[in-house]
Structure 1
């Protein structure tokens, strides 16, 4: 069943699952989804568990709940396509990597956009840079009611897009623009997920297309190097020089879409020449 904030664009027999980031919404993946659909792909822009509501909804979920919603959405899309690609923004990219680790025979390729293992960009506030401590602090009962507010430039260099997104976010339209801040317990869950995946990157066998801003305000190029050095698969990297963190909506999204489509299409053509692998996604999590 499609949730109100999700979108499912039916196209060819190659499909792309799009995963938004923490406190985000499927809207931040809509430009990419439309572009990939025009390129002939079937596209599912999914909603992570606990998102598109209020902070209480998010706090009622853990990273395992977010991941369970990814596996369910992937199984849903897999029923309609022969080749499955998974692309995510920020934390969504980490969830995409997690799926590829767990389901190596089902995920044909990955799109990793603004991947965020480390919150170390030039506009990251102090609590962001110390986010690795949050799992310990929140487990001890500290900061459970605290929220780290979004800060300028909100990951978006394009002022027109930024004003539109920030206006909706500050107006409380969480389905369109997500929450205006990050609850500390949710950031702690993000860190647990990040550590879990980072220590297992060597198990990734799906080819990776990495797109990242060279001027990312949230996550530095250290995150790109972690992927390039860590995964056990070919990596194609695109560095964007006129965008900030939210590369799926920012000024170079057209280039991102074009390169993603070409990457996925090339893999699908290669897979079409190989014998079928047989395995199919189940909805169960690990």
Structure 2
């Protein structure tokens, strides 16, 4: 199937600092591209991959699951690690879930994480009923474009594929079980009002990770897709400042170690 216009993966070749940005469930790189372009303007190397089954039609997601989505961001991370001296990983919603899993698996190879409205558990009876519902319903109403800004549109599916959603519900406990293995510096930004992911997800992440360098920021003017909402510029600027701070620290340590 052809890609929806605007759903293409994004890559910018910049300097020694690389940034991987992961989009969310049923979404596309379109929701991450302004963030990626902002960081690219500061000279960073940026990669925003398109997850398998995304960017075309919701039926294409039915044949994919979390191992496929994780494999793609893992591939993109390894590519950045091959070309950059330090790499940061950012993500929105399920993209933040994938970010956490990369942190759990790759450890110190990742210099820091930026999480926006991460999801790590099922909230509400409907999602908890997915194991049964997937046998009855092929899809459910979509979750795209939870944006407070007037005219804000996320390029995502109008339907949620139930088989794929079931796989996501299987992914959450895998990530939760290893959250104590996350030790990297973390910048976590979450919306005060979010109609897709309950705020208790953020509390769970903050309560279980082992990172000591943690910054939590509340987004007062945005809904779930905050990267396309009123607080987008704040997300971009705070993430850049976070990356610059840690990159400077890493560079100083490298110089000191070198003699």
Alignment of 1:83-232 (within 5 A): 83-118=86-121, 120=123, 129-134=125-130, 136-137=131-132, 142-143=135-136, 145-150=137-142, 154-162=145-153, 165=154, 177-232=155-210
User: Alpha carbon RMSD of aligned pairs, Å?
Assistant: 2.0
* Secondary structure of the corresponding residue to residue 228 of structure 2: coil
Q: TM-score, normalised by structure 1?
A: 0.82
User: Shift in Å at residue 219 of structure 1?
Assistant: 1.5
User: Shift in Å at residue 150 of structure 1?
Assistant: 2.2
Give the number of equivalent residue pairs. 249
User: Could you tell me which residue of structure 2 aligns to residue 273 of structure 1?
Assistant: 252
Report the CA distance shift for 1:198/1:133 in structure 2 as closer, same or farther (over 3 A): farther
* 2:49 equivalent to 1:34: no
* Secondary structure of the corresponding residue to residue 105 of structure 1: helix
The question of whether the paired residues in 2 share the 8 Å contact of 1:85 and 1:107 is answered with: yes
Taking the aligned partners of 1:244 and 1:129, their CA distance within structure 2 comes to 21
Taking the aligned partners of 2:48 and 2:168, their CA distance within structure 1 comes to 20
Taking the aligned partners of 2:226 and 2:91, their CA distance within structure 1 comes to 11
Taking the aligned partners of 2:66 and 2:251, their CA distance within structure 1 comes to 34
* Secondary structure of the corresponding residue to residue 219 of structure 1: coil
The question of whether the paired residues in 1 share the 8 Å contact of 2:29 and 2:49 is answered with: yes
Structure 2 unaligned regions, length at least 5? none
**Residue deviations 1:112-164, cap 9 Å, x none?**
111122454xxxxxxx5431342x426xx723x4312126x8310011123xx
Q: 2:224 aligns with which of 236, 240, 245?
A: 245
The question of whether the paired residues in 2 share the 8 Å contact of 1:118 and 1:223 is answered with: yes
Q: TM-score, normalised by structure 2?
A: 0.90
Taking the aligned partners of 2:216 and 2:52, their CA distance within structure 1 comes to 29
User: Could you tell me which residue of structure 2 aligns to residue 173 of structure 1?
Assistant: none
User: Shift in Å at residue 178 of structure 1?
Assistant: 2.2
Taking the aligned partners of 1:265 and 1:65, their CA distance within structure 2 comes to 31
Taking the aligned partners of 2:248 and 2:202, their CA distance within structure 1 comes to 26
User: Shift in Å at residue 34 of structure 1?
Assistant: 1.1
